[in-house]
């Protein structure tokens, strides 16, 4: 007695959502690669250590998106120091948001692929919604107020 697995015609939507999510994470990996070269933090080192690299904080914060350079802010030196502390805190939050995305990826992929066998359009729609929500999660987390990770917009 054999088991037949039929893949619905609409399953392609599920695959498209999965591939988009993968590309989103690959883009982040490229940002890390560029920073590794710029700050000379080579594999297998995961995080830069301040005692070994003067740019450790900048490298460890590489996953921040759309943050202007501190020098462009034209802030007085005292305010710039506070801004740098805030910037580093925000960087950590972005990094944590990305790590959380990687941690939840196996469950997301399994649910998307298995659920898509029975309900491909619904699974693809919910998967796309989840992918967009992850972007807002990152964006909100990076504000320095962790509760903002739960807000959209």
Percentage, residues of the chain above pLDDT 90: 28
Task: Return the pLDDT at 26.
Answer: 79
pLDDT in tens, 60-80: 554 444 344 444 544 444 444
Cα separation of 97 and 92, whole Å?
9
Quick one: DSSP state of residue 112?
H
Q: Which CATH number fits domain 11-150: 1.10.10.10, 3.30.2350.10, 1.20.120.550, 1.20.1260.10?
A: 1.20.120.550
Quick one: DSSP state of residue 4?
-
pLDDT in tens, 18-49: 999 999 887 767 766 766 777 676 777 666 66
Is 0.85 topped by the overall pTM? no
| Among candidate residues 36, 18, 39, 97, the one with its CA nearest the CA of residue 65 | 97
pLDDT in tens, 121-140: 999 999 999 998 887 776 66
Q: Are 124 and 13 in contact (CB under 8 A)?
A: yes
């Amino acid at each position: 007695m054999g088991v037949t697995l039929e893949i619905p015609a609409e399953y392609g939507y599920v695959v498209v959502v999965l591939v988009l999510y993968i590309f989103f994470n690959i883009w982040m990996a490229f940002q890390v690669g560029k920073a590794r070269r710029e700050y000379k933090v080579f594999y297998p080192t995961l995080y830069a250590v301040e005692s070994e690299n003067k740019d450790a904080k900048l490298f460890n914060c590489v996953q921040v998106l759309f943050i202007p350079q501190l020098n462009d802010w034209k802030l007085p030196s005292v305010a710039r120091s506070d801004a740098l502390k805030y910037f580093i805190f925000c960087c950590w939050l972005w990094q944590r948001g990305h790590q959380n995305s990687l941690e939840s990826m196996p469950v997301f992929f399994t649910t998307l692929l298995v659920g898509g066998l029975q309900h491909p359009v619904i699974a693809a729609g919910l998967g796309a919604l989840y992918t967009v929500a992850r972007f807002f999660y990152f964006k909100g987390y990076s504000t320095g107020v962790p509760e903002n990770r739960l807000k959209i917009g």
